[in-house]
Amino acid sequence: MSHPKKKWGQHFLRNHAAVEKIAAAVEPREDEIILEIGPGEGVLTGDLIALGRPVVALEIDPGLAAKLQQRFGDGLQIRNEDAVDAELPDRPYRAVGNLPYNAGTPILRRVIADPNCRRAVFMLQKEVADRLVAGPDTDPYGFLSLYRQLYSNARILLKLGPKSFHPRPKVDSAVVVLDPKPRDYESDPRRLHDLVSASFRMRRKKLVNNLIGWQGRKREEIVEAMVAAGINPDARAETLDLHAFDRLLRAL
């Protein structure tokens, strides 16, 4: 048993029924590889290798990376790198992993935005998972909900309590399955991302107040664009879906 390191947010999965469900959800096709992020002790790695596709693993802990290489040999390509900035595969892949709590969101964001990603099956804090699947005008809904909508559909596969991990985290966890979706909006995703980010700068402010000064826009311009996009000028960002932001960006 490995000693978890707090600086890397390590919580090792101990629930073998969950391991089976996670591996089964990956469903790689013949032309795809599997990218495991944060394999840790390798509790999931063996099940991924058994799926019959090449497995590449990113493990930030050099000690664990060495143990994984020794354990799995040629069946695993292990890279001792940080998934926050590691180079992603240049061919179609499916990503899977128990993401570290302290870096899970930036890792998820870059993976689902990558055009080579065909599916991501990620263990996250339940609070983050709830934000990913949330709809407008609900408490969890926010920037991350909309960012996810730019690139993928999302569903919660299963939820796990602290007892499923070592050491036990202080929060519940959930596994989310994210599949790329056809682009159902007209704007450039990077510009739409910028608009959404600015719109949630201060969550409780009205949308128009958050956008004053964005790309030099004045209040009058923003109100006019909101009306043209069919948006109430008194609306807050948390009440709008991605298509409303798409209409607003085109009006602006």
Q: In the CATH scheme, what is the homologous superfamily, with its name and number, of domain 6-180? A: Vaccinia Virus protein VP39 (3.40.50.150)
- By C-alpha distance, which of 203, 179, 184, 185 is closest to 248? 185
**pLDDT-flagged residues of the chain (< 70):** 1-12, 14-15, 166-169
| CATH architecture of the domain with residue range 189-251 | Orthogonal Bundle (1.10)
List the structure tokens of 188. Answer: 């450039």
Assess whether the region 6-180 and the region 189-251 belong to the same CATH fold: no
Note the pLDDT of residue 40.
Answer: 87
Instruction: List, for residues 148-193, the tens digit of each pLDDT value.
Output: 999 999 999 999 877 877 666 677 889 999 999 999 999 999 999 9
Q: Cα separation of 179 and 181, whole Å?
A: 6
pLDDT in tens, 68-95: 999 999 999 999 999 999 999 999 999 9
| Domain spans, the chain | 6-180, 189-251
Q: Which residues make Cβ contacts (< 8 Å) with residue 59, sequence separation at least 6?
A: 38, 39, 40, 65, 68, 78, 79, 80, 81
Round to whole Å and give the CA distance between 98 and 93. Answer: 17
